[in-house]
């Protein structure tokens, strides 16, 4: 039984509206098979409107074919980022940067380590990765290099505090910045 005051649909046999506690007409029986809805022609939240009229309620059935989802596909290759589950080839590129060793004055170029290619959002830098023969760089974790919001940040992790730019808190690094780790300098270049 629909309440004539608030429009709430109450179970058959109810004598008062469950929502607004208004007495229901016809003792709770639904004698009119047509569903009606009460509409007030007044401002919202007014206690009682000056004029009321009853209009038939329109029921709209959902269309199951209105928004079909494309079939899910499994990616055939690792794209290095997030893949759209609906197979639209959406791809988030993996962040990438390079650490290039600086040649000391008088140092033989053959003794300089290779450049280090960094990929991913979080990277731990250590001796093995940067310069395997350099004991001034820790073998554990010298520093962390992270990528957030399109920017790179470096943070010291060594117990000897030998990572410069000293990075006690994350510090943004940009192409051309020089980073000293142990006694080896590296030029940071964003790729």
Residue 97 host element (H or E): strand 96-101
Count the residues in the chain.
191
In whole angstroms, give the CA distance from residue 141 to residue 183.
16
Q: Where are the alpha helices (DSSP H) in 75-191?
A: 127-130
* pLDDT attached to residue 127: 92
Asked, as a colleague might, if the bond just before 117 is cis with ω within 30 of 0, I would say no
The tokens for 113 are 């380590």
Q: What domains sit in the chain, N to C, each tagged with a CATH number?
A: 96-190 (2.60.200.20)
* pLDDT attached to residue 1: 75
* pLDDT attached to residue 119: 92
Give the model confidence (pLDDT) of 117-163 as tens digits: 999 999 999 999 999 988 989 999 999 999 998 898 999 898 887 88
In whole angstroms, give the CA distance from residue 113 to residue 134.
10
In whole angstroms, give the CA distance from residue 5 to residue 105.
91
Q: Which residues of the chain have pLDDT under 50?
A: 28-42, 75
Q: pTM for this structure?
A: 0.44
* pLDDT attached to residue 117: 92
């Amino acid at each position: 039984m629909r309440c004539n005051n608030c429009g709430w649909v109450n179970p058959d046999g109810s004598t008062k509206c469950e929502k607004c506690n208004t007495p229901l007409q016809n003792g709770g029986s639904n004698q009119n098979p047509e569903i009606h809805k009460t509409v007030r022609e007044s401002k919202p939240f007014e206690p009682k409107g000056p004029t009321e009229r009853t209009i038939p309620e329109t029921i709209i059935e959902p269309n199951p074919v209105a928004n079909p989802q494309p079939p899910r596909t499994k990616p055939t290759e690792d794209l290095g980022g997030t893949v759209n589950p609906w197979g639209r080839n959406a791809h988030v590129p993996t962040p990438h940067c390079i650490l290039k060793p600086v040649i000391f004055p008088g140092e033989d170029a053959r003794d300089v380590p290779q450049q280090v290619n960094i990929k991913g959002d979080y990277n731990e830098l250590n001796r093995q990765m940067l310069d395997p023969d350099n004991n001034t760089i820790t073998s554990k974790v010298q520093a962390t290099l992270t990528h957030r919001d399109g920017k790179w940040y470096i943070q010291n992790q060594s117990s000897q505090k030998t990572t410069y730019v000293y990075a006690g808190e994350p510090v943004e690094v940009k192409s051309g910045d020089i980073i000293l780790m142990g006694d080896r300098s590296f030029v940071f270049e964003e790729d």
